[in-house]
């Protein structure tokens, strides 16, 4: 959830844009606003994630079109920790996602007055402790973008980038999921249903309420000593298979 701000504390802002000139313009505009402190300038999404971890801004002014890590991916990683105003050029795809989910955004080039209005609205949302609709926005973006090609996992100020074909198993663990890849687990605050919606169903199957497996890793399904079905993976892992999960697995393998 978005952090609250003490009434007497300045709004702490980080500017995120891969274009130096764009950052300079935003800095100039923000310099005219009262009770505001610029605590970071970031030239890419990885720097933005690190800034959120290191200096804890209250608000990100976040460019959408950036190389390596775009604005939507940054929001997915930090959206529960900080308020966000997106900045974007003429991108109908992005604007549709924003409008559907009532996310604040600024169309480039924007004026100092328009930025001031957006910052004022952000202050109000922060005061109400209103979180960004991260899951809903991600779902809207995914409808256009298709299945995920990679998974991003935040570890403090670091970001792990895991290609989906290197994921062996995804397991639900309370409010998190654990992605297993090359024998290592990566925890992410996410539901298994959200993960399932991002992955290609021809390659990944939910075989249990708590497990999704990569079909490329499946060696066989067998019964254990209690007559419960277990999926054996090429990595050596044993994953429980429920009755409904076995039905999904049988259907998927039959249509492969």
CA distances to 191, 196, 230 from 206, rounded to whole Å, are: 13, 7, 13
pLDDT tens digits, one per residue of 55-88 = 999 999 999 989 889 888 898 898 777 899 999 8
Helices in the chain by DSSP H: which ranges?
20-30, 45-55, 71-78, 92-101, 112-127, 134-145, 192-198, 243-254
> Can you give the pLDDT at residue 55?
96
Between CA 51 and CA 163 the distance in angstroms is: 24
In the chain, the domains with their CATH numbers are 11-142 (3.40.50.2300), 147-254 (2.40.50.1020)
Between CA 8 and CA 240 the distance in angstroms is: 54
Between CA 230 and CA 175 the distance in angstroms is: 24
The DSSP bridge partners found for residue 33 are: none
Between CA 177 and CA 186 the distance in angstroms is: 8
Kindly report the number of other CB atoms within 10 A of residue 226's CB atom. Answer: 6
Edge to edge, what strands does the sheet with 59-63 contain?
36-42, 11-16, 59-63, 83-88, 105-107
What secondary structure does DSSP assign to 180-202, as a single string?
EETTEEEEEE--HHHHHHHS-TT
> Can you give the pLDDT at residue 176?
94
% the chain with pLDDT above 90: 64
> Can you give the pLDDT at residue 255?
65
Answer whether 53's CB lies under 8 Å from 77's CB: no
Instruction: Output phi, psi for 111, to 5 deg.
Output: -90, 165
pLDDT tens digits, one per residue of 81-137 = 789 999 988 777 677 777 766 678 899 999 999 999 999 999 998 988 887 777 777
* pTM, entire model: 0.82
Give the single-character DSSP code of 2: P
- Determine the 3-state secondary structure of 102 from DSSP: coil
Structure tokens at 208: 């249990």
Greater model confidence, 254 or 230: 230
> Can you give the pLDDT at residue 1?
45
Residue owning tokens 């209103």? 130
Residue owning tokens 């290197």? 166
């Amino acid at each position: 959830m978005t952090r609250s701000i003490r009434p007497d504390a300045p709004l702490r802002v980080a500017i995120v844009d891969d274009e130096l000139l764009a950052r300079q313009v935003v800095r100039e505009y923000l310099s005219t606003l009262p009770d505001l402190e610029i605590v970071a300038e970031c030239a890419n999404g990885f720097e933005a994630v690190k800034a959120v971890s290191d200096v804890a801004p209250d608000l990100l002014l976040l460019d959408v079109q950036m190389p390596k890590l775009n604005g939507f991916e940054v929001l997915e990683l930090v959206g529960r920790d900080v308020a966000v105003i997106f900045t974007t050029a003429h991108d109908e795809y992005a604007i549709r996602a924003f409008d559907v989910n009532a996310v604040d955004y600024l169309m480039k080039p924007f004026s100092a007055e328009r930025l001031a209005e957006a910052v004022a609205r952000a202050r109000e949302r922060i005061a109400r402790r209103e979180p960004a609709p991260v899951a809903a926005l991600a779902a809207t973006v995914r409808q256009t973008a298709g299945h995920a090609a990679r998974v991003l996992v935040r570890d403090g100020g670091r970001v792990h980038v895991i290609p989906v074909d290197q994921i062996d198993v995804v397991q639900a663990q309370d409010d998190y999921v654990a992605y297993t890849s090359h024998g290592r687990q990566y925890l992410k605050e996410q539901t298994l249903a959200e993960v399932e919606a991002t992955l290609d169903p021809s390659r990944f199957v939910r075989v249990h309420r708590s497990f999704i497996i990569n079909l490329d890793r499946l060696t066989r399904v067998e019964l254990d000593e209690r007559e419960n079905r277990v999926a054996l993976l090429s990595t050596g892992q044993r994953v429980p298979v429920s009755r409904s999960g076995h039905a999904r697995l049988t259907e998927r393998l039959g249509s492969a």
